[in-house]
Amino acid sequence: MEAVSRGEYLIAGCRNRDIRAILFGEPAPEELKRQSGKVTRLLRLLRAHGVIAKIAKTHRYQLTEKGRSSISALHAARNATTERLMQTA
């Protein structure tokens, strides 16, 4: 989710190739197909939950409003610590 929510993809969207490079780095030729399939399944899951939407007539995906709010809430919860939560209370 963090790879899809990067700022560089907010306007133009992201492709399978972009996400694959972030998650796996430079792949070996024999691993390329397996990694591409894994990213495809992850993108399909995010799309089914309404986090991302396909941009028409392209191979790109963009975050939806629901996706932006969900990912920011998950990111805040992930980075929260007990000390931070007790300071705000």
pLDDT (tens digit per residue) in 34-65? 999 999 999 999 999 999 999 999 999 999 99
Where are the domains positioned within the chain?
7-88
Q: What is the 3-state secondary structure (H, E, C) of the chain?
A: CCCCCCHHHCCCCECHHHHHHHHHCCCCCCCHHHHHHHHHHHHHHHHHCCCEEECCCCCCEEECHHHHHHHHHHHHHHHCCHHHHHHHC
What does CATH list as the number for 7-88?
1.10.10
According to the model, what pLDDT value does residue 89 have? 57
Q: What is the pTM of this model?
A: 0.80
Average pLDDT over residues 27-34: 89
